[in-house]
Structure 1
Amino acid sequence: MTDDLIGKQIGGYAILGLIGRGGMAAVYRAHQVSMNRSVAVKVLPRQFIDDLTYMQRFNREVQIAAQLEHRSIVPVHDYGESDGQPYIVMRYMAGGSVDDMLNAGPLRLDQIVQICAQIAPALDYAHGKSVLHRDLKPSNILLDDIGDAYLTDFGIARILGEAPGSTITTDGAVGTPSYMSPEQAQGHPLDHRTDIYALGVSLFEMATARRPFEGDTPYGVAVMHVTTPPPSPRLYNESIPVSVEQVILKALNKRREDRYDSAAALAAALRTAVEAPQASPPPDPQPSAPPPIEIQPLAERPIPAPVYPAPSAPSLRQVPPASVPKRKRRPFRLNLWVGAMIGGVLGCALLTVVVGIGLLIVGTSTSEVGPGETPTATADVTPSAHARALVNETAAAVESATPRTPTRRATAITNTPVERSGPSGTVIFFAQRPITVDGAPVEAYNLYSL
């Protein structure tokens, strides 16, 4: 749309350029010729001159702004008409608006704290004058050339205590849907806490560079303010401290009774949340964590007196004894060489005994045969008593000399006669007596003479 005011003069103000355009007015940067200073001129467009509603709101802003004298409220210098077109002359804010700052992204926490600390007293001041702003948002917070914040645009403000219908601004739900409190969106009676909600929405936007509720239509956004819980600011900006998030969410409570009671209280809580986050209490009680255990140095620990517990019933649970590995008993085995040596000694002893017995028998037989007689064998094969005794003693000696081992098992004794020819026709019988030592067969003999 072509702007035909630039380059022209309205009253004593030369229009230099357009600052911004809103729903009901356009703001220009102008030069006040008489004072030689820059000013802002707010002009009602010509298409709204014949609209009674817009004319009443424009005039009402002038009346309310004239009552508010605060260092953080943009002052009004002049008001007039030019060729039937009304205008308001205000202080020129060279720093632009907070909305302009958000084009570069979220603001720093120190910037948010400073802006809130400057706007909050102005808002409380207006509430003290029974004035509700009803359209608080980042585009209505202006900055001067050194960065100080100012509150502006009381075009739809309402004065508390006025009779309903006395002004056009008191009828219906009025305001910007993205910043409306739930009660404002529903057209309910309002108090100062509706501006606290709008300030909370503005803080949310400063911290995240987006509004808590966004939709396709203004009506849909207004419904979300009434029915939908606000999202977490940290969802969009993780660098926001939890304590700051808690302050913002408290300002956005659906119930006005749960919000901060004043803008100054909100600003103080925000500053505390940024400067000393550990001092900010959580909005909802959470289960408390157990206190940390203090570990004292060993030298500083007091030595407690011994406490002997009273005897108690033994526990039903039995603790199994510690298992001790059983030592595997190694079977006793005779060394093969030792067994061979013992066998050799016994064999030599046995051979000596046999030879001795043989000589004894031969000698006896020779003495009984007369000269010139031929010795003959007798039919009696019964061993003599002397031979039997000698054999028994020899067998007993052999058996007692044989070492017994734990693993030796003797087989059944069998007497196997072995016929051998002795000297002088004497018949000698050996009774074979096999035994087993460590699994190896060993032959023993019982000796009988005939």
Structure 2
Amino acid sequence: AHMSKKYGKWGKVLGSGAGGTVRLIKASTKAGGRTYAVKEFRPRRNGESEKEYQKKVTAEFCVGSALKHVNVIETVDIVSDHGHYYEVMEYAPYDLFSVVMSGKMTRPEIYCVFRQICDGVDYLHGMGLAHRDLKLDNCVMTTDNVVKLIDFGTATVFHYPGKALIPASGIVGSDPYLAPEVLNAPVYDPRKTDVWSIGIIFMCMILRRFPWKIPDLKTDPSYRLFVQSHPELCEKPP
């Protein structure tokens, strides 16, 4: 299918990262006139086989299209156009980072937003999926203040029905939001690291800054001070 024929005019670039570029597209009045966010999947990398590339594209799109929850961005369509792959999603115009940094959120609004993030993450975990890159920039808001989680490029399945938990490994995520075990442990439970990340999101909404740059005792004095002030957090649970 040809993207612009099917959906209409391309608009501005909303953001780009390792996984691809996200742009706006406005459907023609005939097609309903809705605005969508469209992710163009990154090109195939040098040394990456066509099969590997297809597998990665398919995995991310399958995750997107399988998720149906009010606090998770909806994947509307998947389009292949002359070797390019596009994921068409509902568009929510506000990113939470900008909303928080504007300083206009009241405490009740912060609690309401946080509750919605928790609901979205609880849904993902119930589906056996961990997000692994939860941060303010990966939460967007609609005009009627509904919060949606976005970007499942680093999401991982930690549970298949009837199987044991699959631990995660490797440093995945954004420095200030990382849980300490992501840096220090060979394997970890990705549900718990997601929960840590939403704790940091909550702190950022209250403080309007990061509590520390990275949860590393050696290099980050703010994090070191936090750990020293809370020795009970360092005790292994019985």
Q: TM-score range by the shorter chain?
A: 0.7 to 0.9
Is 1:38 the equivalent of 2:18? Answer: no
* Aligned-CA RMSD value: 3.2
Rate the CA distance shift 1:59–1:210 in 2: closer, same or farther, 3 A: farther
TM-score (structure 1 length as normaliser): 0.43
Quick one: distance in 2 between partners of 1:121 and 1:257?
26
Rate the CA distance shift 1:230–1:40 in 2: closer, same or farther, 3 A: farther
Quick one: distance in 1 between partners of 2:195 and 2:102?
25
Corresponding residue of 2:163: none
Report 1:239-254 matches (<5 A): none
Q: CA deviation at 1:106?
A: 7.2
Is 1:113 the equivalent of 2:111? Answer: yes
Quick one: distance in 2 between partners of 1:40 and 1:54?
22
Is 1:103 the equivalent of 2:101? Answer: yes
Q: CA deviation at 1:21?
A: 2.1
Report 1:232-381 matches (<5 A): none
User: SS state of the match for residue 88, structure 1?
Assistant: strand
Quick one: distance in 2 between partners of 1:102 and 1:51?
39
Q: CA deviation at 1:191?
A: 4.0
Higher relative contact order (CA 8 A, sep 6+): 2
Q: Deviations over 1:287-340 (max 9, x none)?
A: xxxxxxxxxxxxxxxxxxxxxxxxxxxxxxxxxxxxxxxxxxxxxxxxxxxxxx
Corresponding residue of 2:146: 148
Rate the CA distance shift 1:123–1:225 in 2: closer, same or farther, 3 A: farther
Quick one: distance in 1 between partners of 2:91 and 2:63?
19
Q: CA deviation at 1:77?
A: 0.2
Q: CA deviation at 1:172?
A: 2.2
Corresponding residue of 2:22: 27
Q: Which amino acid aligns with 1:40?
A: A
Alignment gaps of 5+ in structure 1: 1-7, 163-169, 215-220, 233-248, 259-450
Is 1:93 the equivalent of 2:88? Answer: no
User: SS state of the match for residue 16, structure 1?
Assistant: strand
Alignment gaps of 5+ in structure 2: 161-167
Identity of aligned residues (%): 22
Rate the CA distance shift 1:86–1:123 in 2: closer, same or farther, 3 A: same
Quick one: distance in 1 between partners of 2:217 and 2:55?
30
User: SS state of the match for residue 150, structure 1?
Assistant: strand
Q: Which amino acid aligns with 2:75?
A: V
Contact 2:39 2:87 in 1 (8 A): yes
User: SS state of the match for residue 216, structure 2?
Assistant: helix
Contact 1:77 1:89 in 2 (8 A): yes
TM-score (structure 2 length as normaliser): 0.78
Corresponding residue of 2:194: 195
Would you say how many aligned residue pairs link Structure 1 and Structure 2? 219
Q: CA deviation at 1:12?
A: 3.2
Q: Deviations over 1:372-399 (max 9, x none)?
A: xxxxxxxxxxxxxxxxxxxxxxxxxxxx
Q: CA deviation at 1:225?
A: 9.7
Greater displacement, 34-43 / 46-55: 46-55
